[in-house]
């Protein structure tokens, strides 16, 4: 069956790829077959459930290339899980007794959609997988072709998700200004909280990018501007065991020698300990529609700073989060190249009648292909044994302590 109508939606949190991916899909379809109708659902799955969409007209097609220069999503996002019926009903997206997946499928049929392109992270694409399976079971004859967006870079088996490289570089740029705050007070502890619920890749990559930035700077130690005060002194990620006492002793020595301490922290590092404390105290742990702990509300950076500050004799604590700054950026050159190749493969897959999530398949020799949805999972761990990460830790004098699996 020839592709006549294509629909796009972006969902989940922002990443520096959404705008470019939307623009790229519009450009590629227009290049291959200008007769293909393109519609965009507004605010992700929410717009699909409500039947809210816009049609891409000729002027929008002509201007689509400009989207590569912008961050955010031009068509809007939302966090909606189609299989969480109670949440969809509560938010007024479907009526009591309705199945959100059927509502979504029927809307796609009503709009004459042949191919739905979803652009999102693991939650978005597991939702896409559920929807694709529903469509197949009920013979709707629709294709779903996704693109992997997450700055955490934690989608199995995707080698590199769109936007993650940019987010790391932007987080480094953010910290370059923040770190100067150490000069406002003696013995300042600066905690740079980086996004990464279960995966420390972004924190490690941000620290690596930042240190590479430092390599290109000139220093004036005679004027109190030595590299050591602006360097990274510790990197904490969920995949590493944290020996609080040992690290405090090491960082206390850094504080005494340098005069300040800079920590790069994954927002998901130590969350198990924080949640355990809250539950032991009888406090309710805030969670979203997907069951994830609301990290902004439990504030891991604050918890970590409260542990370390007295142990390293910090005179002031500054907690800064680069997530919203970095995830809303426009894609950099490296990501634009990745986005372009994935977009081309996504359109090629759609035109050939295929389905799946497009990316470099780590379980198939890093081949760029449409990966079967039933193989897509979130929560990929960061490989702390990667040579570049070991080099990073060695460069800052931090021992690597891998988590040890516990038998239950």
- Mind telling me the catalytic residues? 152
Nearest to 163 by CA among 103, 73, 87, 35: 73
Phi, psi of 15 (to 5 degrees): -155, 155
Residue 322 to residues 251, 358, 389, Cα–Cα distance (Å): 22, 28, 20
DSSP type of residue 222 = G
Binning the chain into helix, strand and coil, the percentages to the nearest 5 are: 45, 15, 35
Question: CA-CA distance, 270 to 388, in Å (whole number)?
Answer: 23
Listed residue (168, 133, 174) closest to 150, CA to CA? 168
Q: How far apart are CA 36 and CA 113, in angstroms?
A: 11
What distance in Å separates the CA atoms of residue 246 and residue 372, rounded to the nearest whole number?
45
Nearest to 305, CA basis, from 188, 391, 191, 146: 191
d(CA 43, CA 258) in angstroms, rounded, equals 48
- Distance between CA atoms of 370 and 144, rounded to whole angstroms? 10
């Amino acid at each position: 069956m020839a592709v006549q109508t294509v629909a796009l939606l972006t969902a989940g949190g922002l990443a520096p790829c959404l705008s470019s991916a939307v623009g790229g899909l519009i450009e590629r379809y227009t290049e291959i077959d200008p007769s293909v109708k393109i519609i965009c659902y507004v605010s992700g799955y929410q717009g699909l459930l409500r039947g809210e969409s816009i049609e891409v007209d000729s002027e929008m097609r002509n201007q689509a290339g400009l989207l590569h220069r912008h961050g955010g999503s031009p068509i809007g996002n939302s966090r909606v899980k189609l299989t969480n019926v109670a949440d969809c009903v509560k938010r007024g997206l479907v009526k009591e007794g309705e199945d959100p997946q059927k509502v979504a499928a029927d809307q796609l049929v009503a709009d004459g959609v042949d191919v739905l392109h979803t652009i999102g992270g693991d939650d978005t694409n597991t939702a896409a997988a559920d929807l694709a399976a529903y469509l197949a079971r009920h013979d709707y004859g629709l294709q779903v072709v996704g693109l992997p967006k997450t700055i955490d870079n934690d989608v199995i088996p995707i080698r590199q998700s769109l936007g993650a490289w940019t987010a790391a570089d932007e987080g480094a740029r953010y910290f370059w200004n923040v770190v100067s705050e150490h000069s406002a007070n003696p013995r300042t502890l600066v905690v740079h909280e980086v996004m990464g619920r279960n995966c420390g890749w972004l924190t490690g990559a941000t620290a690596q990018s930042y240190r590479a930035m430092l390599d290109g700077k000139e220093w004036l130690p005679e004027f109190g501007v030595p590299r050591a005060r602006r360097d990274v002194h510790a990197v904490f990620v969920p995949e590493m065991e944290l020996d609080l006492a040992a690290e405090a002793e090491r960082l206390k020595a850094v504080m005494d020698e340098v005069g300040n301490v800079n920590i790069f922290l994954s927002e998901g590092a130590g969350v198990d300990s924080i949640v355990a404390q809250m539950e032991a105290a009888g406090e309710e742990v805030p969670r979203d529609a997907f069951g994830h702990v609301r990290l902004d509300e439990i504030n891991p950076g604050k918890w970590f700073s409260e542990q370390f500050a007295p142990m390293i004799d910090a005179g002031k604590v500054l907690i800064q989060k680069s997530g919203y700054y970095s995830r809303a950026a426009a894609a950099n050159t490296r990501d634009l190249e990745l986005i372009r190749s994935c977009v081309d493969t996504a359109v090629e897959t759609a035109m050939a009648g295929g389905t799946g999530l497009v990316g470099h398949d780590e379980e198939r020799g890093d081949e760029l292909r449409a990966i079967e949805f039933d193989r897509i999972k979130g929560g990929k761990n960061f490989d702390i044994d990667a040579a570049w990460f070991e080099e990073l830790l060695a460069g800052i004098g931090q021992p690597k302590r891998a988590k040890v699996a516990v038998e239950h």
